Structures are given as structure tokens and as C-alpha cells.
Amino acid sequence: MHDKLQPLQSLFAQMGQALIAYSGGIDSSLVAKVAHEVLGDKALAVTANSPSLLAADLAAAQEQAAEIGIAHRLVVTQEMDNPNYTNNPVNRCYFCKSELYDSLRPLAEQWGYPYVVDGVNADDLQDYRPGIQAAKERGTRSPLAELGITKLEVREMARSLGLTWWDKPAQPCLSSRFPYGENITIEKLRRVGEAESYLRQLGWQTLRVRSQGDIARIELPAAEIRAFVQNTDLAELVAAFKGYGFLYITLDLEGFVSGKLNQALLLNQQPQ
């Protein structure tokens, strides 16, 4: 990993100071770790706190930042006030990231940080990520992507640098659990968050609870579905999910697929 790590270190050395958009995921954690090692107190991690972030994930981000040793602050974002976001169009992430970086840029200028950087990696550039465009429009740098560092390399580098959560599953914002076009509300985000927290407490970590109307669709890795059905008190689970506000609880037999709701976009692009 030296061939990838040294250019990353050099990039931050050239920056001199940097504010990191830090979600607590492994990508932004690696960026925060390297930035802190190179820049010390001239690196700052900032996490956006909003209804689309699980409280447990916010707490984890704070704990991880403390373990890294980097200075860490929170900023409250207001994307839920923007109908362009809550109406959940196919480019919803554009409006989310617009709000994020419109919040971070003035703070960076106020606090004297010439660069705002994120954790976008090279693989992200191959996926449908409208938020990347919003970040670019606001001058945000993506060191991992700039250096061609892939997700697998991110995890390998994180492990070599001693980040104990190097294999942490990806955890995109809760708004990604809704099909495009379905309105997003704080109440809907709450029930999805509670449902996923319930499953995590049972020991399942790589998962999604997709929400469509009153239906909760549980996604787990295909190899774990049999064990889930055999070892879970399904009646108790159903009762819990109904308590959160769902009427129907289903299990996706295809299994977990990251970004599965984007499949609808590909289907609509096919010739009729």
C-alpha cells in the first residue's frame, strides 16, 4: 500500500490545511486518519447531523474521530427543509450534498481551511452518484478518487494504518432506503432507523430495510438468509416493526445489493 499511501500523504502536505467532510464511514475515516497524521491540528473533521443519520452512526463517528485523534465538530444541515430533497427525485443526493457543502464551505473559510475534502473513492465514480457533482461545483476535493484509490484499497490501507473498523459495512444515509418519487419525511426516516437498529442489535450488520409505502423489505446478504430465518423470532420481529409504523414486513429473497433502488433507473433506460 506504500505506492498509494505516499501520494496521499504528499497531497495533504501540499494542502497545508484541510477540512474533512467526515461521515464515519471507512472512506472518510481513512482520509481523516492520513490528514491528521500529516497535518496534525491543521486537519479538522466535520460531521453533518441530520434526521437521515442514525444516532448510533453519529456516536460511532465521534468515537472513531477520538480514536484517530483528529479534531471533530458537528454541523446541523437542513436538507429536510428543501422540497427538492424531500420529494425524492432521482438526483436527490445532489440536493443533499449541495446543502452539506454549502454549510461546510463558509465554515472552512471562517476557520481558515483553504480546502474541503471528502471520502469519494475511485469506485464511486463508476456508480450513479449525483452528489459528486454537487461537491465538485463547490470546489470540494476528493483525494482518494484523484489518486485512483479503490474501495478495496481503502480497506487495505485502513487496516494497515490500524483503523479497527476497516471492515465496517457501508452505511449510506437513511434516505437511500426509499424508492425514487416517494416523499421522505422525518417520521419515515425514524421508523427505518429504528428497524435497522433492531436488526443490528440481533447481530446482523450488513443489511438494509427498504421502505416502500407501508412495506418494510429486509435485505441481508444472500448467504445469511437461511440463518436469519432459522434463528430469528419472526413473530417478535414483525411485532417490533409494526410498532415502528410498518404494516407489512417482507424479506428480499435476492439478498442485499448495494444501491438496489438504482436498478429502477437502469430498467427505465432500456428500450421498450
Q: Global pTM?
A: 0.91
In the predicted model, what is the mean pLDDT of residues 118-131? 93
Residue 35 · residue 123 · CB < 8 Å:
no
Domain covering 2-160, topology? Rossmann fold (3.40.50)
Domains 2-160 and 174-265 share a fold: no
User: For the chain, what is the radius of gyration of the CA atoms?
Assistant: 19
Residue ranges per domain, the chain? 2-160, 174-265
In the predicted model, what is the mean pLDDT of residues 234-247? 98
Q: What is the pLDDT of residue 100?
A: 97
Q: What are the cell numbers at 231?
A: 434463528
Q: What is the pLDDT of residue 127?
A: 84
Helix (H) or strand (E) segment spanning residue 93: helix 92-111
Burial of residue 201 (CB within 10 Å: 0-12, 13-18, 19+) is exposed
Q: Taking CA 175 as the corner, what is the angle to CA 170 and CA 181, rounded to the nearest 5 degrees?
A: 130
Q: Is 272's pLDDT higher than 50?
A: no
Q: What is the pLDDT of residue 170?
A: 87
User: Exposed e or buried b for every residue in 102-136, given b needs 16+ CB within 10 A?
Assistant: ebbbeebeeeebebbbbbbbbbbeeeebbbbebbe
Of the candidates 180, 232, 234, 255, the residue with the CA atom closest to the CA atom of residue 211: 180
Domain covering 174-265, topology? GMP Synthetase; Chain A, domain 3 (3.30.300)
Farthest-apart Cα atoms in the chain, separation: 57
In the predicted model, what is the mean pLDDT of residues 67-75? 98
Q: What is the dihedral of CA 74, 127, 30, 62, to 10 degrees?
A: 30
